[in-house]
């Protein structure tokens, strides 16, 4: 069964396709190398929380990369959707990708929040260490929330079909907006509390605290840049359709929404920033495995600094003995 939806502003959609091709070319080797690192170097399954959540974020990005070639093909062919089954599968995977990305970004921020702001709450911290169980629960919960994305075009008979489609549509929109805005407010709260904690903290490991601030700020920037514009554009599109504006206005709103969705695909290029700030071990291993030449200067400077320190200590001991 074919579902053909012609695109307005065809040249603009070809530009969208070109952007997606660039994202795919850059993101495929990047995420493949990250996946290799988590499995064979970091052995993520041995981690109690951090690396396990990050690995699931990589899996979410790979789901997105599976869909990008299909979207590129559709846009180049000047169609929004082609084969119905493929369209529904792609839509399901994209919904699952976005839901998983948002969920794991939020969990990472919550994990940092409790470790920095409430380190005394052992029960919650102990629960957050059950990363495999939390990750499985997130994926399982996302499945029923994502399935309505595939039911949009199912038709039964007359009035029952219309009521069913309307209920499904409302449910899908409710899931989409709550999935975006509730995590966003959680991220803002976590970021504000950790930054406040950094300003008031007078003792402890300031370096770890600053890294926690970088983590939540990076997560919030990625979230705000990739997911928030698309959610706002979708909201505007829904309002325009409910108010039954002219076809021209609806087409422009649809084009803008598609553009913001393409923007959200950059998430698979920005997530490695989260990995680097979340795990210094990941950053060191990634650079040493794939870009060792970048570390030569640092290693030389580090060895020179150690040699200088040893020399200083030796001279100091001689002075004491004299």
CB 238 within 8 A of CB 169: no
Q: What is the spatial distance between Cα 121 and Cα 261, in angstroms, rounded to a whole number?
A: 39
- pLDDT tens for each residue of 257-266: 999 999 999 9
Tally of structural domains, the chain? 1
Domain-located, residue 16: yes
CATH number at residue 247: 1.20.1070.10
Phi, psi values for residue 79, rounded to 5°? -130, 140
Of 18, 4, 22, 153, give the one whose Cα is nearest residue 78. 4
Domain-located, residue 36: yes
| Residue with tokens 């990708």, as numbered in its chain | 97
- pLDDT tens for each residue of 6-65: 667 788 989 999 999 999 999 999 999 999 999 988 888 887 678 889 999 999 999 999
**Tokens (6 digits) for 31:** 């995420």
Q: What is the spatial distance between Cα 215 and Cα 249, in angstroms, rounded to a whole number?
A: 40
pLDDT of residue 227: 92
Domain-located, residue 26: yes
Domain-located, residue 66: yes
Domain-located, residue 144: yes
Q: What is the spatial distance between Cα 2 and Cα 256, in angstroms, rounded to a whole number?
A: 25
- pLDDT tens for each residue of 167-207: 566 666 777 778 888 999 999 999 899 888 877 865 456 77
Q: Which domain holds residue 221?
A: 10-152+163-292
- pLDDT tens for each residue of 134-170: 999 999 999 887 776 565 543 333 334 444 455 566 6
Domain-located, residue 278: yes
pLDDT of residue 306: 47
Does pLDDT of 78 surpass 90? no
CB 70 within 8 A of CB 83: no
Q: What is the spatial distance between Cα 135 and Cα 68, in angstroms, rounded to a whole number?
A: 24
Confidence tier at 103 by pLDDT (50, 70, 90): very high
Q: What is the spatial distance between Cα 109 and Cα 121, in angstroms, rounded to a whole number?
A: 16
Domain-located, residue 14: yes
Domain-located, residue 167: yes
């Amino acid at each position: 069964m074919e579902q053909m939806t012609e695109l307005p502003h065809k040249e603009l959609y070809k530009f969208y396709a070109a952007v997606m091709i660039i994202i795919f070319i850059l993101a495929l080797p990047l995420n493949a190398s990250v996946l290799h690192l988590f499995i064979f170097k970091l052995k993520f399954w041995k981690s109690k929380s951090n690396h396990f959540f990050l690995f699931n974020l990589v899996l979410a990005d790979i789901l997105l990369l599976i869909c990008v070639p299909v979207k590129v093909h559709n846009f180049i062919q000047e169609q929004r959707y082609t084969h119905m089954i493929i369209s529904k599968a792609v839509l399901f995977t994209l919904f699952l990708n976005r839901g998983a990305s948002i969920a794991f970004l939020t969990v990472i921020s919550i994990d940092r929040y409790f470790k920095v702001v409430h380190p005394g709450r052992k029960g919650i911290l102990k629960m957050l260490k059950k990363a495999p169980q939390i990750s499985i629960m997130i994926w399982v919960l996302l499945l029923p929330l994502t399935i309505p994305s595939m039911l949009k075009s199912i038709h039964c008979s007359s009035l029952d079909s219309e009521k069913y489609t309307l209920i499904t549509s409302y449910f899908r929109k409710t899931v989409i907006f709550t999935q975006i805005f509730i995590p966003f407010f959680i991220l803002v709260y976590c970021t504000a509390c950790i930054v406040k904690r950094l300003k008031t903290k007078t003792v402890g490991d300031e370096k770890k605290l600053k890294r926690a601030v970088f983590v939540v700020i990076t997560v919030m920037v990625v979230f705000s840049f990739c997911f928030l514009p698309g959610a706002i554009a979708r909201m505007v599109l829904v309002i325009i359709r409910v108010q039954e504006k002219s076809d021209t206005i609806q087409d422009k709103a649809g084009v803008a929404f598609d553009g913001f969705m393409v923007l959200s695909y950059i998430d698979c290029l920005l997530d490695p920033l989260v990995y680097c700030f979340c795990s210094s071990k990941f950053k060191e291993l990634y650079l040493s495995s794939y870009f060792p030449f970048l570390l030569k200067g640092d290693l030389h400077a580090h060895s020179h600094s150690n040699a200088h320190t040893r020399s200083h200590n030796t001279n100091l001991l001689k002075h004491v003995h004299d």
